[in-house]
Structure 1
Amino acid sequence: MEGLFLPLLLMLVVAIPLIMGTRKQKRMMAEQQELQNSLAPGDRVMTTSGLYATVVDASDTSTIDLEIAEGVVTTWLRQAVRERINPAVDEEPGADEEGDTTASADATRSEAEDGTTSTGPQVAPPLEHGKK
């Protein structure tokens, strides 16, 4: 009986991390599958190659149409979508519910004329990946 204790203990020490790793991998695969199935037009996503795009058509089961620039729509496999990006909502405290954008557009123009801000292309903020 004593001769079996050490080999059994060694097998447990090796088997437990393998089982836990497999469970974690299955859970992450299920989350990724759920994300890919829940995509809808208008969602902002990032592909596995790091390309930011907006979902245009998600009606097909295996492919998805992404708009990578204004008027440029490309077709990708759903598996290429890595994550959904939640756009930062920048609302001014003084803006009314109807979304008065003329005042903010005028303010942006005057700031650009002063040279205090850049009017270049909009760039998505970098992602902050948390440890899972």
Structure 2
Amino acid sequence: MDISLFLPLLFLVLLVPLFLQARKQRKQMTEMQTMQNSLTEGDVVITIAGVRGTVVDASYEETVDLEIADGVVTTWLRGAIRQKVTEEHAETHEAETTGEASDAPSLEKPSLEKNDN
């Protein structure tokens, strides 16, 4: 096989996945920006820091105010909002915090004692 035929094929094999990945990332970025721009009061969100809160004021262009506890309101950049919490996600979180989740990993500490049987 001649190398002049192999090089275009090699470039095609390497460039097509790069193009598809860039396209996928661009689509995810636009979906994220759309979600962040569509936030309204009452939406429950999770930030990139893992803080869960309720949007109390979304009237500003670049920021949103989140209530993270009763009476505790903080201001966040819209870009710091990672996701809106859906009802399904909220039910899962509630089950985990009340201890109803049966498949939750155990957090017991291992024993440091040696068994010399």
Distance 1:47 1:124, change over 3 A: farther
Whole-angstrom CA distance in 1 between matches of 2:36 and 2:13: 36
**RMSD between aligned alpha carbons?**
1.9
- After the TM superposition, which parts of structure 1 deviate over 2 Å for at least 4 consecutive aligned residues? 87-90, 123-126
Match of 2:21 in 1: 21
Match of 2:65 in 1: 65
Whole-angstrom CA distance in 1 between matches of 2:87 and 2:3: 61
Letter in 1 for 2:35: L
Whole-angstrom CA distance in 1 between matches of 2:53 and 2:94: 10
Q: Which runs of 5+ in 1 are unaligned?
A: 91-122, 127-132
Structure 1 residue 5, shift from structure 2 partner: 1.2
Structure 1 residue 4, shift from structure 2 partner: 2.1
Q: Which runs of 5+ in 2 are unaligned?
A: 97-117
Q: Secondary structure, in 3 states, of the residue corresponding to 2:87?
A: coil
Whole-angstrom CA distance in 1 between matches of 2:73 and 2:87: 20
Query: After superposition, what is the alpha-carbon deviation per residue over 1:32-56, rounded to whole angstroms, capped at 9, x for unaligned?
Result: 0000011000000000011100000
Task: Give aligned pairs, total.
Answer: 93
Kindly indicate whether structure 1 or structure 2 has the higher relative contact order, using CA contacts under 8 Å at least 6 residues apart: 2
Match of 2:101 in 1: none
**2:74 is equivalent to residue 85 of structure 1:** no
Whole-angstrom CA distance in 1 between matches of 2:34 and 2:69: 26
Alignment of 1:112-131 (within 5 A): 124=94
Query: After superposition, what is the alpha-carbon deviation per residue over 1:58-77, rounded to whole angstroms, capped at 9, x for unaligned?
Result: 01110110000011000000
Q: TM-score, normalised by structure 2?
A: 0.73
Distance 1:125 1:77, change over 3 A: farther
Match of 2:38 in 1: 38
Sequence identity of aligned pairs in percent? 46
CA contact (8 A) 1:44 1:87 kept: no
**2:75 is equivalent to residue 75 of structure 1:** yes
